[in-house]
């Protein structure tokens, strides 16, 4: 037998198709074929050896809505603001540990100006430090876009941390809450000594700051940052994570949705919250008794083109169901031969003469095919084409860039049902 990675035409089958084919081969005179099929993934198809790939999701239907239970909760909350919108006290870090800074991608970007353009920079690439917490699962960080340099480590150097503490953080705190002056070391180096034990290990403690002064503290910090080179245009990022399970609710129940929202946002002063500054990560949980569910979450941009009647019949239909006796334009390693319907169509044609195949094609398949709203556009020898957009193609959602899957829209339905096409794109 040839090596398992040999270059062969690929055939994708569902679990059901694989089992049915294996059962048909499980005969005394086909044991070798059976073993090659189930153990090595090899099948002799149309006098050619092909590799078998099983797609466990292929043919798996979603359960009826009446058969499963749907719950929703709030997984996390992230806000990008220029204030501290809390209604409870904050535990502030005099010394911020690098472990508490944002170092992993949270999929949010910040627009930064550069000499030629405005670019979107991932938040975790912008130098930042932890400011404090108002809850065990919450943290507020300060971001300094003026310290960002493309390709450089986003860690804030010690001399800048010293500047932040001595010229901004401590002055802002003690000017608003003088009673805590003695709890804040005068210099950064003194604070380093205070928070290090005899073995040289740091213990990053916090000092509580009253809730009624937090609004003033946020503005005071930003005011002092503006006076220091590299610290201008700073902003706060508030992150509340690990709330999954604390806000379970029925998404169809308005009262339950409202109660879950209030349970998560009880830390924040909603009177100063701007919805456009916040991102809420919603989690859905689907339960189907005695079943294992796999949820496909990947969405795609796509391009569509309305196909004329003539092209729908002569170009699209005949590429999906080529007539008997006419050489197919598809190649052995492209998409069509890997589709189970296409193999079944070719097998049927082998059993029919040209007249019989023409009757089935034009009088049975064509009427059914004409009822389809859209199909993958069979450009060239591929069922799915992902080239960049052209003049005849319309992008969904609007404004998208780059190559993405192309679909052919049946002109019989386009004028009657445009909202359905434009409304949903995933």
Are 229 and 305 members of one domain? no
> Largest Cα–Cα distance of the chain, in whole Å?
98
Percent of the chain as helix, strand, coil, to the nearest 5: 35, 20, 40
Are 232 and 379 members of one domain? no
In a domain, 93, yes or no: yes
Are 106 and 255 members of one domain? yes
Are 87 and 13 members of one domain? no
- The number of distinct structural domains making up the chain is 3
Domain boundary among 242, 267, 287: 287
Are 369 and 400 members of one domain? yes
Per-residue model confidence as pLDDT tens for the chain (426 residues): 455 556 777 888 888 889 998 999 998 888 888 998 988 888 887 677 888 888 877 777 767 777 888 888 888 999 999 999 999 999 999 999 999 999 998 888 888 766 666 778 899 999 999 999 999 889 999 999 999 988 888 999 999 999 999 999 999 999 999 998 999 999 999 999 988 888 888 888 999 999 999 999 999 999 999 999 999 999 999 999 877 677 889 888 999 999 999 989 999 999 999 888 899 988 888 888 887 776 655 555 778 788 888 888 888 898 888 888 776 555 554 567 767 788 888 889 889 888 899 899 989 999 999 988 888 888 766 677 666 666 677 777 665 556 677 888 888 876 654 444 444 433
Are 108 and 154 members of one domain? yes
Domain boundary among 266, 287, 308: 287
Are 108 and 226 members of one domain? yes
In a domain, 278, yes or no: yes
Which residues constitute the domain of residue 374? 295-426
In a domain, 215, yes or no: yes
Asked if 361 and 328 touch (Cβ cutoff 8 Å), the reply is no
Are 90 and 199 members of one domain? yes
Q: Which are the contacts of 352, defined by CB distance < 8 A and separation ≥ 6?
A: 324, 360
Helix (H) and strand (E) counts for the chain?
A: 14, 16
Q: How many CB atoms lie within 10 A of CB 341?
A: 10
In a domain, 99, yes or no: yes
In a domain, 268, yes or no: yes
Are 306 and 392 members of one domain? yes
Q: How many CA atoms lie within 13 A of 190 on its CB side?
A: 9
Q: What does DSSP assign to residue 259?
A: H
Are 299 and 283 members of one domain? no
Are 300 and 166 members of one domain? no
In a domain, 65, yes or no: no
pTM of the model: 0.60
Peptide bond between residue 139 and the one before it cis (omega within 30 degrees of 0): no
- Cα 146 versus chain centre, distance: 29
Q: Beta strand 302-307 with 128-133: parallel, antiparallel or unpaired? A: unpaired
What 3-state DSSP class applies to 109? Answer: strand
Selection from 241, 261, 291 nearest residue 72 by Cα: 261
Are 79 and 225 members of one domain? yes
In a domain, 321, yes or no: yes
Helix (H) or strand (E) holding 286: strand 278-287
Selection from 211, 238, 252 nearest residue 72 by Cα: 252
In a domain, 66, yes or no: no
């Amino acid at each position: 037998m040839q090596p398992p990675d040999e270059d062969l035409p690929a055939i994708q089958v569902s679990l059901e198709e694989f089992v049915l084919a294996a059962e048909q081969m499980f005969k005394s005179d086909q044991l070798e074929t059976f073993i090659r099929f189930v153990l090595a993934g090899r099948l002799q198809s149309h006098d050619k050896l092909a590799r078998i790939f099983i797609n466990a999701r292929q043919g798996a239907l979603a359960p009826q809505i009446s058969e499963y239970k749907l719950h929703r909760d709030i997984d996390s909350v992230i806000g990008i603001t220029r204030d501290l919108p809390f209604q409870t006290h904050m535990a502030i870090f005099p010394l911020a540990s690098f472990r508490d800074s944002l170092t992993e991608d949270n999929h949010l970007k910040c627009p930064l100006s550069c000499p030629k353009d405005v670019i979107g920079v991932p938040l975790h690439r912008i130098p930042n430090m932890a400011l404090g917490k108002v809850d065990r699962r919450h943290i507020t960080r300060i971001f300094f876009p003026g310290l960002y340099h493309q390709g450089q480590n986003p860690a804030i150097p010690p001399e800048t941390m010293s500047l932040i503490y001595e010229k901004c953080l401590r002055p802002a705190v003690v000017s608003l809450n003088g009673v805590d002056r003695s709890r804040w070391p005068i210099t950064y180096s003194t604070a380093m000594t205070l928070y290090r034990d005899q073995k040289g290990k740091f213990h990053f403690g916090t000092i509580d700051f009253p809730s009624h002064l937090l609004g003033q503290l946020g503005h005071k910090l930003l005011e002092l940052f503006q006076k220091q080179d590299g610290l201008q245009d700073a902003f706060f990022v508030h992150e509340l994570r690990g709330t999954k399970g604390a806000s379970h609710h029925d998404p169809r129940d308005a009262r339950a949705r409202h109660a879950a929202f209030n349970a998560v946002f009880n830390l924040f002063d909603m009177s100063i919250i701007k919805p456009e500054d916040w991102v809420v990560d919603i989690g859905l949980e689907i339960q189907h008794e005695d079943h294992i569910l796999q949820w496909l979450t990947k969405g795609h941009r796509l391009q569509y083109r309305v196909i004329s009647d003539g092209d729908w019949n002569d170009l699209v239909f005949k590429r999906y169901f080529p007539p008997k006796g006419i050489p197919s334009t598809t190649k052995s390693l492209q998409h069509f031969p890997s589709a189970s319907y296409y193999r079944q169509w070719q097998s049927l044609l082998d059993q029919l003469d040209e007249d019989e195949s023409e009757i089935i094609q034009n009088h049975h398949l064509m009427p059914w095919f004409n009822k389809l709203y859209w199909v993958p556009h069979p450009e060239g020898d591929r069922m799915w084409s992902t080239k960049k957009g052209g003049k005849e193609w319309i992008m969904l959602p609007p404004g998208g860039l780059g190559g993405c899957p192309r679909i052919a829209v049946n002109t019989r339905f386009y004028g009657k049902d445009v909202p359905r096409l434009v409304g949903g794109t995933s």
